[in-house]
Amino acid sequence: MKRLLLSLWNYRHFIVGSVKNEFRTRFIRSRLGAAWIVLHPLAQVLIYALVLSQVMQAKLPGVDSQYAYPIYLLSGMVVWNLFAELLGRLLTVFIENANLLKKLAFPKLALPLVSIGSSMVNFTLLLLAMYLVFAFLGHFPFRYILWLVPLISITLVLTVGIGLTLGILNVFVRDIGQVLTIVLQFWFWLTPIVYTIDIVPQKYRFLLHLNPLSSIVEGFQSVLVYERSPDILPMLYPALFGLFMLGAGMWLFLRAKEEITDVL
């Protein structure tokens, strides 16, 4: 493990350069450039807000704003976008870089780090845009903003753990990528993003609590919507689950790293 970390450190310029390069090439021929990172999720929020705003407005007590529901939506969507984007990148990171792996000698784990870096750049831009939208709507959730650091960290551990594990398995069993596309559709609706957990019948709420992303989303909503610190106890489940998956992913990687290039 020490040798692996040392090799990643030696290739740190390659990792940082790859993140910058990906960001530039992604928008080099686009007039709006990085604005597309923000416009896509904002358009999705607008659609849900137009359809469900009147139904959900009364379900958000404690938010003194006529734009309570759009604020609630944005707070959940910013987490989901980080999770879904990074998970999707990690799922195909080895497959999409097959030629690079065959031609160059570098630590394979550098590729997931590039994916993490690129997703975090996109997330940061979206988070800044979200705060600008909040300010425009007269909502200023800055009091507990430092809580976002541990919340983002838990989200990354969870996503990287799941993504690295599935990304390695996807090299050997390509059906995993197709299955995950379907699973993510159900996963979105099993996460309290467009609705509050209070409207779910009591007997079905355990399904939401089994979802480790639910507690993270509720933590973001506490900070960004209700301007209070999140409950620490519910955070333990996604944190421990994420660490377990990260350990499983690293174990798989160490066992399969020599075979990945051959299979590709």
Residue 117: the pLDDT is: 92
How far apart CA 20 and CA 1 sit, in angstroms, is 27
Please choose, from the candidates 169, 165, 170, 221, the residue with its C-alpha nearest in 3D space to the C-alpha of residue 192.
221
Residue 36: the pLDDT is: 66
Distance of CA 67 to the CA centre of its chain: 25
Contacts by 121-129 with C-beta closer than 8 Å and gap 24+?
Answer: 121/19, 121/23, 122/37, 122/81, 122/82, 122/85, 123/78, 123/81, 123/82, 123/85, 123/152, 125/34, 125/37, 125/38, 126/37, 126/38, 126/41, 126/78, 126/81, 126/82, 127/78, 129/38, 129/42
Residue 34: the pLDDT is: 61
DSSP 211: S
Q: How confident is the model at residue 22 (pLDDT cuts 50, 70, 90)?
A: confident
- Range with the lowest mean pLDDT among 43-47, 97-101, 193-197, 229-233? 43-47
CA 248 vs CA 179, 202, 243, 253: distances in Å: 20, 33, 9, 9
pLDDT digits (tens, 9 = 90+) for 168-178: 999 888 888 88
Residue 27: the pLDDT is: 65
Q: How confident is the model at residue 264 (pLDDT cuts 50, 70, 90)?
A: low
Residue 85, phi then psi, degrees to nearest 5 = -65, -50
CA atoms in the 13 A half-sphere facing the CB of 171: 24
Q: Where are the domains of the chain?
A: 63-263
Coil, strand or helix at 200: coil
Burial class (CB in 10 A: 0-12, 13-18, 19+), 44: middle
Please choose, from the candidates 33, 155, 26, the residue with its C-alpha nearest in 3D space to the C-alpha of residue 84.
155
Query: Token digits for 245?
Result: 């998956």
Mean pLDDT of all residues belonging to the chain? 85
pLDDT digits (tens, 9 = 90+) for 214-239: 999 999 999 999 889 999 999 999 99
**CA angle centred on 45, ends 41 and 46, rounded to 5°:** 115
pLDDT digits (tens, 9 = 90+) for 96-142: 888 887 777 778 888 899 999 999 988 998 898 889 888 888 888 88
Query: Token digits for 117?
Result: 């870096």
- Asked if residue 164 has pLDDT above 80, the reply is yes
CA 35 vs CA 40, 77, 83: distances in Å: 9, 17, 19
